[in-house]
Amino acid sequence: MNEAERLLDSFLTNISEHRRLSENTVKAYASDLADYQRWANAHGVDSIRPSHQQLRQYLSSLHHARYARTTIARRFSAVRSFFKFLQLENVIRENPAEIMNTPKLSKVLPKTVPSDALTVLLSVFDDSTILGSRNAAIIELLYATGIRVSELTGLNVADVDLKEGYIRVLGKGSRERIVPFHQYAGLRISHYLQFSRPRLLKQNLTQALFLSKRGNRLSSNSVRVCMQTAFRQCANIAGITPHVIRHTFATHLLSNGADLRTIQELLGHVALSTTQIYTHVGRKRLKEVHNTSHPRA
């Protein structure tokens, strides 16, 4: 193991064990930094001690490769964090990426699904089949709680309290939170637990809530594939992902009077500013209230 590989391994251990970032986030850092290392090796650049000019060349290579601005910003953020770690460890004196600007990201409003369309989506699943029951429970729980797909697949049976209507979620940074769900989700989950899960479990002893056809913990990618396959049957409904349902959850709560602080807590956002992107959907509601309430409207 050379110096660069050893330091990268130390960095990944640090963000996993000390910063307590999720496994998926650590994998994303590893992938982005591996891309930087490959570029540095291919261009004869010391990946640990590059110059500002060399880092600008790396950014330029990403632009020329036509990566999305979000991808470029994420990759460079990983590189900047890596150099910050090296600086704190006294491996380098200065962080060569600290004064460099990353691409400005346009503010894209989150895509959402109308509530009546969600009813149509849920009608696609046949509750009398093993996978239909499971998939219906997944969609209903995603919409009922707004949890991330990684949080959903990380749930164990013991994390679900059907009687009280709560789930215990382990979110980003290993932060635990309690999220309520409504009776419709409770009925779907109860049916899945009684009908589908025992048949999927087979000889396995896993405590995972949602299982694959092989009886293993369902992966995040499998959830996305299941949704894509099922929703092809719905006319005029496309591009519905677990994250779109998360956006929809927050949007519908805000539209119906929930405050941002509550939505922040339910979503597991550390900063309120992250939640504020959903305020755009409240404009229509504000206009309606203004039109019906103002004497001059």
- Mean pLDDT across 82-96: 91
Of 23-32, 66-75, 155-164, 285-294, minimum mean pLDDT range: 285-294
Please pick, among 134, 148, 247, 252, the residue that the annotation labels catalytic. 148
Please pick, among 49, 74, 172, 177, the residue that the annotation labels catalytic. 172
Share of the chain above pLDDT 90, in %: 46
The Cα–Cα gap between 184 and 227 comes to: 19
* 93 belongs to a structural domain: no
Q: How is the beta sheet containing 166-170 ordered, strand by strand?
A: 160-161, 166-170, 176-180
pLDDT for res 108: 61
pLDDT for residue 296 is more than 50? yes
Please pick, among 75, 188, 246, 252, the residue that the annotation labels catalytic. 246
Q: Exposed, middle or buried by CB within 10 Å (0-12, 13-18, 19+), for 212?
A: middle
pLDDT for residue 276 is more than 90? no
The domain containing residue 274 runs over which residues? 115-287
- For residues 51 and 121, state if they share a domain: no
* 163 belongs to a structural domain: yes
pLDDT for res 141: 95
The Cα–Cα gap between 188 and 182 comes to: 10
Question: For the domain that residue 198 is a member of, what is the CATH number?
Answer: 1.10.443.10
- For residues 250 and 151, state if they share a domain: yes
Mean pLDDT of the chain: 85
Of 15-24, 62-71, 241-250, minimum mean pLDDT range: 15-24
| Confidence label for 22 from pLDDT (cuts 50, 70 and 90) | confident
Of 56-70, 110-124, 169-183, minimum mean pLDDT range: 110-124
Amino acid symbol at 116: D
- For residues 84 and 119, state if they share a domain: no
pLDDT for residue 60 is more than 60? yes
- Mean pLDDT across 78-90: 92
SS3 266: helix
pLDDT for res 295: 57
| DSSP states along 93-155 | SS-TTTTPPPPPPP-PPPP---HHHHHHHHHTS-TTSHHHHHHHHHHHHHHHH---HHHHHT-
Residues 6 or more apart in contact with residue 222 via CB below 8 angstroms: 212
pLDDT for res 101: 72
- For residues 24 and 147, state if they share a domain: no
pLDDT for res 72: 87
* 172 belongs to a structural domain: yes
- For residues 269 and 141, state if they share a domain: yes
Which token pair is 112?
């959402």
Question: For the domain that residue 63 is a member of, what is the CATH number?
Answer: 1.10.150
pLDDT for res 201: 92
- For residues 244 and 126, state if they share a domain: yes
The Cα–Cα gap between 159 and 213 comes to: 21
- For residues 158 and 248, state if they share a domain: yes
- 278 catalytic? Reply is yes
pLDDT for res 174: 75
- For residues 58 and 138, state if they share a domain: no
pLDDT for res 187: 95
Residues 6 or more apart in contact with residue 59 via CB below 8 angstroms: 72, 76, 100, 102
- Mean pLDDT across 9-16: 91
pLDDT for res 297: 47
pLDDT for residue 116 is more than 70? yes
- For residues 162 and 278, state if they share a domain: yes
Q: How far is CA 54 from CA 39, 96, 213, in A?
A: 11, 10, 49
pLDDT for res 287: 60
pLDDT for res 285: 54
Distance of CA 290 to the CA centre of its chain: 35
| Confidence label for 120 from pLDDT (cuts 50, 70 and 90) | confident
The Cα–Cα gap between 227 and 138 comes to: 10
* 104 belongs to a structural domain: no
* 237 belongs to a structural domain: yes
Q: What Rg do the C-alpha atoms of the chain give, in angstroms?
A: 23
**Contact, 212 vs 222, CB < 8 A?**
yes
Query: What is this structure's pTM?
Result: 0.66
- For residues 82 and 121, state if they share a domain: no
Of 1-10, 54-63, 119-128, minimum mean pLDDT range: 119-128
**Contact, 69 vs 105, CB < 8 A?**
yes
Question: What pairs with residue 156 in β-bridges?
Answer: 208
* 44 belongs to a structural domain: yes
SS3 5: helix
Which token pair is 33?
């930094």
Of 76-80, 105-109, 158-162, 253-257, minimum mean pLDDT range: 105-109
Residues 6 or more apart in contact with residue 130 via CB below 8 angstroms: 195, 196, 199, 200
* 105 belongs to a structural domain: no
- For residues 80 and 126, state if they share a domain: no
- Mean pLDDT across 23-31: 87
Give the count of domains, the chain. Answer: 2
Residue pointed to by tokens 């000390």: 18
- 243 catalytic? Reply is yes
- For residues 123 and 166, state if they share a domain: yes
pLDDT for residue 75 is more than 70? yes
- 43 catalytic? Reply is no
* 100 belongs to a structural domain: no
- 143 catalytic? Reply is no
Backbone angles phi, psi at 21, to 5 degrees: -75, 155
**Contact, 208 vs 218, CB < 8 A?**
yes
pLDDT for residue 109 is more than 70? no
The Cα–Cα gap between 219 and 197 comes to: 15
pLDDT for residue 36 is more than 80? yes
